[in-house]
Amino acid sequence: MLVRDAMSTVVLTIGPAHTLRQAACLMAARRIGAAVVLDTDAGCLGILTERDILNSVGAGQDPDRETAGTHTTTDVVFAAPSWTLEEAAEAMTHGGFRHLIVLDNDGPVGIVSVRDIIRCWAPVRRHPAILAG
């Protein structure tokens, strides 16, 4: 199975000036764990995760003052839609993260998470006959 089969194609994109509270509200409303942060001025693409927000709040920072840009990971590992789920899982395990932005030639086309991969693998693990059918 490929990343394109598992990824979410609805990608929340926010700007670096969004506060962490705004980002958290948007993420919670969509029940997702990450947002793509697009800084068009700097030509930069990054990711803000629920863990980034949690770390900031846990450190006593004000989510109404802290911005996404300050907490965005810009040293991002990107996946291609043609990667296997094994390749995506290996990249996540090696890098210690739970989300990959999926890029094609035109930019971000999706996000794949550990949860997406598990959702795809779990039925196969329980019912091996699914592969045969």
Tens-place pLDDT, residues 46-100: 999 999 999 999 999 999 999 999 999 988 999 999 999 999 999 999 999 999 9
User: What is the DSSP secondary-structure string of 102-117?
Assistant: EEETTEEEEEEEHHHH
C-alpha span between 39 and 25 (Å, rounded): 20
Asked if residue 110 has pLDDT above 80, the reply is: yes
Using CA atoms, how far apart are residues 20 and 50, in angstroms rounded to an integer?
A: 10
Q: State residue 131's pLDDT score.
A: 52
- Helix pair 20-30, 50-58: axis angle to 10 deg: 140
Q: Which residue has the higher pLDDT, 60 or 44?
A: 60
pLDDT value of position 105: 85
Buried residues in 103-116 as b, exposed as e (16+ CB within 10 A): beeeebbbbbbbeb
The answer to whether residue 16 scores a pLDDT higher than 80 is yes
What is the full DSSP assignment across 71-87?
A: H-B-SPPEE-TTSBHHH
pLDDT average, residue stretch 29-38: 94
Share of the chain above pLDDT 70, in %: 92
Quick check: 43 pLDDT over 90? no
